[in-house]
Structure 1
Amino acid sequence: MSVALRAGLIGAGMMGRHHARVLRQIGGVDLVGVADPAGDPHGVAGTSTFHDSLQGLIDQGIDMAAVAVPTAFHEQVGLALAEAGIHALIEKPVAGSLEGGRRLADAFESRGLVGAVGHIERFNPALQSLRSRLANGDLGDVYQVATRRQGPFPSRIADVGVVKDLATHDIDLTAWLCQSQFTSVFGQCAHKSGRPHEDLVAFSGRLADGTVTNHLVNWLSPFKERQTIVTGTRGTFVADTLTADLTFFENATIATTWDAVSAFRGVAEGNVTRFALEKREPLVLEHEAFRDAILGGIDRTVSLRDGLQTLLVAEAAIQSADTHQVVDPRTLLSTPIGATP
């Protein structure tokens, strides 16, 4: 019988509670310790050993860790784990700065460790099914990806704005669905809640494959919405990641023998199909992928390098909003994402 991986959790807040629950749920993993210098008022540690410092958790001896601390501490905690030879799943965004994200990616890759970032939407059943259908050519050519992600302000988020906290979901899932990176971004931000960071962003983009994208993200709506709309030759897929539902609106193209209009490729309302999907919790799927990668299986994690690419586009959106100019994300780093300075 194989020995379970010894897991630790850094951060006992709201996300930490979810990570602890899942780490206790999946097979092959034993949550042995939790660390948080702010204490454990919600009892996240449970029967696991609680530490008031990261070093205490490292000294306990762990193989892997989930990092659910504020973004400002991602780099510090991640580098300490890498130095100790511990695999890490770090909540998104990967870091607070591009330089920090690059240092994290380099640290884990240079040591042969699994470093993953928690872009959990890739593990949503609706988007996983959509990704497979796009890869299978079910939509034909992809023309546009539009996302809407809005809801009330989460009071626990204080160190980053809505672009890095929420919009990074849409940046990552869009590039992943299309298997193509952003080459231009134009954004508009607003500050309406009296905080130092933006709480609303609307930005458009273009991917390297020509796909046009549009994203609406805010913390100002009294209702919660998580929707991804992908339009292509054969119709439109609509994924609701709150309910993990995927619906296909078929393009019933009407044939014509009239030469004067035959060159125009129009669309018409066709069949609507809502797919029956197996709906497992995305966080469970994310942790299972992390565990499997550590054990040498197929790596289905979102790499720290992927997280850095997403952060690059987020920074471009913020810069575009500040300058009112279109920004090519690739110009924000002196060397490419995949290169080490």
Structure 2
Amino acid sequence: MQSAPAPRIAVVGCGYWGTNHARTFAELGALHAVCDRHPDRAGQLAGVHSVSAMTIEEVLADPEIDGVVLALPPQYHADQTIAVLEAGKHVLVEKPIALSVADARRVVDAASKSGLVAMTGHVLRFHPAFEALEAMIRAGELGAVRYIHSHRVGLGKFHAENDALWDIAPHDLSLILALTGEKPISVRGVGSAMLNRLSDFAHLHLQFASGVRSHVFASRLNPYRERRLTVIGSKAMAVFDDVAPWNQKLAVYRHKLWEDDNGWQSEMVDPDYVDLPDGMPLTRECAHFLDCIRTGEEPRTPVADGLAVIEILSEGTVRHD
């Protein structure tokens, strides 16, 4: 029996990340068209993949297009996402889905009314190391989660509208929210602007009703690159290090802790590295979007997740040092 053809996807925005989306959907046999406000850029990418270069009006009006990927400057995401949904097409919108809570809520409301697949591009949720970490926590291998901290630092990229908090922190906030399964009851943020009015460093401190606490450190003005999420549990600790070699990306530390007459004691042990299946996170994310279009299932990262992240970012953007 012949399998059904892949849904037909248009990628809107032919910059760095949109180009990655176009390549990935082409590899999955689903790319139908590309679109960019610069026709030459769209035409060049369309030629690479032998698809059509369209205007946004043509994309929205084309009945052959099933889904649209939006990889735009984030100030355009909310309005364009709503336009795509109102045109009757499924949508995968890159993070952040909006630059205000009000606009993000408009997106979520439009998605709810449409009954279509509306997915946020939180690509690290589809990383095999993170999926394995989620499974370990669900199985109780780390015990009760007590603390989660993330460090995502490096040099560049600098954006005219987004500071380090809004540009970088959504990655880790989406992971933390997935692991805790709840929204924070307290958010405190501090940013530091070195180059201009926008923060190049940002710290967020989160507290959850369950007792879990968390902090996020993001920087785009740092001499070294770090992409690390650490989970402290009552039985063990785990580190998802996306800069490490593939066979060391997820490490589990079963350190021993005990209390005696001399107070708390500890014994360190070498980490156990978790075997991971092959698979690029972006490919897995794009394939999931296609599967949701085919089946009508709720995406793993709905736009409501994007709203939850923006609520934290808005509450955490309180002051600069």
Query: Offset of 1:271 from its aligned partner?
Result: 4.4
Measure the CA separation in 2 of the matches of 1:181 and 1:249. Answer: 27
- Tell me, which stretches of 5 or more residues in structure 1 are unaligned? 325-341
The 5-angstrom pairing of residues 1-12 of structure 1 reads 1=2, 2-12=4-14
TM-score by length of 2: 0.92
Aligned residue for 1:190? Answer: 192
| Counterpart for residue 328 of structure 1 | none
* Equivalent residue number for residue 78 of structure 2: 75
**Distance across 1 between alignment mates of 2:69 and 2:7:** 13
C-alpha distance in 2 between matches for 1:138 and 1:309 = 27
Contact persistence 1:94–1:307 (CA under 8 A): yes
Aligned-pair identity in percent equals 27
Distance 1:180 1:218 in 2: 25
- Secondary structure of the 1:270 match is coil
Are 1:20 and 2:29 an aligned pair? no
Is the contact between residue 11 and residue 36 of structure 1 (CA under 8 Å) also seen in structure 2?
yes
List gaps (5 residues or longer) in structure 2. Answer: none
Q: Distance in 2 between matches of 1:80 and 1:297?
A: 20
| 1:35 paired residue number | 35
Question: Structure 1 residue 183: deviation in Å?
Answer: 1.2
Report deviation, 1:31. Answer: 1.2
What amino acid maps onto 1:283 in structure 2? Answer: L
In the TM superposition, residue 298 of structure 1 has moved relative to its aligned partner by 4.6
Which amino acid in 1 is paired with 2:79? Answer: Q
For residues 68-103 of structure 1, give each alpha carbon's deviation from its aligned partner in whole angstroms, at most 9, with x where no partner exists. 010010012111101100000000011111111111
Q: Which amino acid aligns with 1:39?
A: P
Aligned 1:1-341 pairs, distance under 5 A: 1=2, 2-26=4-28, 29-41=29-41, 43-46=44-47, 47-51=50-54, 53-61=55-63, 62-155=65-158, 157-194=159-196, 196-243=197-244, 245-253=249-257, 260=261, 266-296=265-295, 298-319=297-318, 321=319
How far apart are 1:45 and its partner, in Å?
A: 1.8
- What is the TM-score of this pair, normalised by structure 1? 0.86
Q: 1:89 to 1:5 in 2, by over 3 A?
A: same
Structure 2 CA distance for aligned equivalents of residues 209 and 44 of structure 1:
48
Structure 1 residue 306, shift from structure 2 partner: 1.0
- The alpha carbon displacement at 1:208 in A equals 2.2
**Contact 1:16–1:44 at 8 Å: present in 2 too?**
no
- Stretches of 4+ moved more than 3 A in 1? 264-267, 297-300
Partners of 1:230 and 1:236 within 8 A in 2: yes
Q: Conserved in 1, the CA contact under 8 Å of 2:8 and 2:66?
A: yes
SS of residue matched to 1:278:
coil
